[in-house]
Structure 1
Amino acid sequence: MQEHRATPVDASVLSDPVRRRLYDHVRGAPGTTRDGAAGAAGISRTLAAYHLDRLVAAGLLRVDYARPAGRGGPGAGRPAKRYWALRDEVVVSVPPRDYGLMARLFVGAVDAAGSPELRARVLALAEEEGRAAGTGPAELVDALRSRGYEPVLADGGDVEMRNCPFHRLAEANGPLVCAVNHALVRGVLAGRGEDADRAELAPAPGRCCVVVHPAVPGD
């Protein structure tokens, strides 16, 4: 799993709705160009460039330069500027709060207690929270996003999460946090009336530990 850290930022950087829309687009389309971002946000290339560079200056995006695939040599033109979201967690809080500290204390206490009953209750609460997120007209990926995941469609139709919303807690209490992730995603599926067993606990580098498999026809 990639290293994450919490990065405090000025709340005003993402308070602009256009800038936030561009930021979300880059997170969903790594390596996007100014033209691509402008088209996705429905704004001019010049305005997109302004906001994108503001996000770079704030430390939320990084840039590199590359020519389109298949174009090179004389006459290929200048390399395009591409934007990538940093993998840091963004923390916007005025004045500062430390909810992460409280979460670490609770998770550490549950882990240290070694109580099967307490662990089962935590997982049941996580599944209830997932059910609440899954109830309603929202699509599965939107319900997952509402709980902090970044779902993407992988080869074979699996839905993978590019991030773990609780990464910093997982660094010290991995098995418990992964179990909570699994219960939460199961709850989202159950809340939508879908088979909760489609959510599999399958840790792998670079993504969350839970994968949602495609629905079986006829289910």
Structure 2
Amino acid sequence: MGTNENRDRDAISDLSSLDDAVRRRLYDYVRTRDEPVGREEAAGAAGISRTLAAYHLDKLADAGLLTTSYARAAGRGGPGAGRPAKRYARTDEELSVSVPPRDYGLLAGVLAEAVAADDSGTVREAVAAAAHAAGRSAGGEDLTSALRGCGYEPATTAEGGVDLRNCPFHRLAREHTELVCWLNLHLVRGLLEAGGQPAGRAVLAPRPGHCCVVVDPPGPAGGAPGSGGLRAGSGKPAEGH
């Protein structure tokens, strides 16, 4: 493991890839997709040639901002199908820079360990209350903007709910999944209340690669405020949060 200074230097080098306008368009497109993206699809979305898209996508992958895989197009297989095409997806790894160096992740990990060591549950309830209050302070009438302001990537569903495509606390969630999901749930409920909406619309519905929380469409589908808010059949918060 390198020092904070070395990690920040590497991150600055990697993040500089996004200074290029074309690469930023490609990255922004890929990160909004649920499935890996092929070169032709990315090129069309960015309005550039496939060759240019391939060059910039590979540069983003080299910088650690995208991951790569290979797959044939749907419905194509067997002899004559050709080689699998290269595809790109957003990485789960974080890149962040702090000048001068800081390590807030270490502090968060220490605090999470302290919460886990409290068998009484008092500290966990205090975390929920603090997260709820933080959500109310950060919220407003525009739920989407409020969610983005807290680091989420919200996507409105066809039914009028909100899917959160990422967890702002992903690194911490790897080791303290249930605690972070609990915090997310009450933070989002606070955001909803701040906008005059029922807090119970925010429920736990864990899925790999997404935040454990979703916002159900308005109406009776939302969980009751004050309940655990676990959507039926979703089980415990999932690893890979």
From 13, 18, 23, the counterpart of 2:17: 13
1:146 corresponding residue in structure 2:
149
TM-score by length of 2: 0.69
Separation in structure 1 between the aligned mates of residue 68 and residue 208 of structure 2, nearest angstrom: 24
Q: Higher relative contact order at CA 8 Å, sep ≥6: structure 1 or structure 2? A: 1
Separation in structure 2 between the aligned mates of residue 73 and residue 178 of structure 1, nearest angstrom: 43
From 18, 24, 31, the counterpart of 2:28: 24
Q: Where is the helix percentage greater, Structure 1 or Structure 2?
A: 1
2:93 corresponding residue in structure 1:
88
1:158 and 1:68, CA in 2 relative to 1: closer, same or farther beyond 3 A? same
SS of corresponding position for 1:89: coil
Deviation at 1:62, TM superposition (A): 2.6
- Determine whether 1:190 maps to 2:224: no
2:105 corresponding residue in structure 1:
100
Separation in structure 1 between the aligned mates of residue 79 and residue 123 of structure 2, nearest angstrom: 67
TM-score by length of 1: 0.74
CA-to-aligned-CA distance 1:26-60 (integer Å, 9 cap, x gap): 12223212222223233443432222111111122
CA-to-aligned-CA distance 1:49-86 (integer Å, 9 cap, x gap): 22211111112223334343234567766654321222
Mark the runs of 5 or more structure 2 residues left unpaired by the alignment: 1-6, 223-241
Give yes or no for contact 2:161–2:218 (8 Å, CA) kept in 1.
no
From 167, 172, 187, the counterpart of 1:169: 172
Give yes or no for contact 2:160–2:218 (8 Å, CA) kept in 1.
no
Separation in structure 2 between the aligned mates of residue 131 and residue 19 of structure 1, nearest angstrom: 36
Mark the runs of 5 or more structure 1 residues left unpaired by the alignment: 1-5
Separation in structure 2 between the aligned mates of residue 17 and residue 115 of structure 1, nearest angstrom: 52
| Mapping 1:180-219, distance limit 5 Å | 180-216=183-219
SS of corresponding position for 2:184: helix
1:195 and 1:90, CA in 2 relative to 1: closer, same or farther beyond 3 A? same
1:88 and 1:117, CA in 2 relative to 1: closer, same or farther beyond 3 A? same
From 56, 65, 68, the counterpart of 1:60: 65
Separation in structure 2 between the aligned mates of residue 50 and residue 18 of structure 1, nearest angstrom: 11
1:49 corresponding residue in structure 2:
54
Q: Which amino acid aligns with 2:166?
A: N
Separation in structure 1 between the aligned mates of residue 162 and residue 150 of structure 2, nearest angstrom: 15
Give yes or no for contact 2:206–2:213 (8 Å, CA) kept in 1.
yes
Q: Which amino acid aligns with 2:59?
A: R
SS of corresponding position for 1:90: coil
Separation in structure 1 between the aligned mates of residue 214 and residue 107 of structure 2, nearest angstrom: 28
- Determine whether 1:131 maps to 2:136: yes
**Equivalent pairs, count:** 211
CA-to-aligned-CA distance 1:101-153 (integer Å, 9 cap, x gap): 1112233334435676654443233223323443154x53x543332334456
Q: Which amino acid aligns with 1:148?
A: G
1:3 corresponding residue in structure 2:
none
2:238 corresponding residue in structure 1:
none
Q: Which amino acid aligns with 2:37?
A: T
1:93 and 1:15, CA in 2 relative to 1: closer, same or farther beyond 3 A? farther
SS of corresponding position for 2:219: coil
1:179 corresponding residue in structure 2:
182
1:122 corresponding residue in structure 2:
127
Identity of aligned residues (%): 57
1:186 and 1:13, CA in 2 relative to 1: closer, same or farther beyond 3 A? same
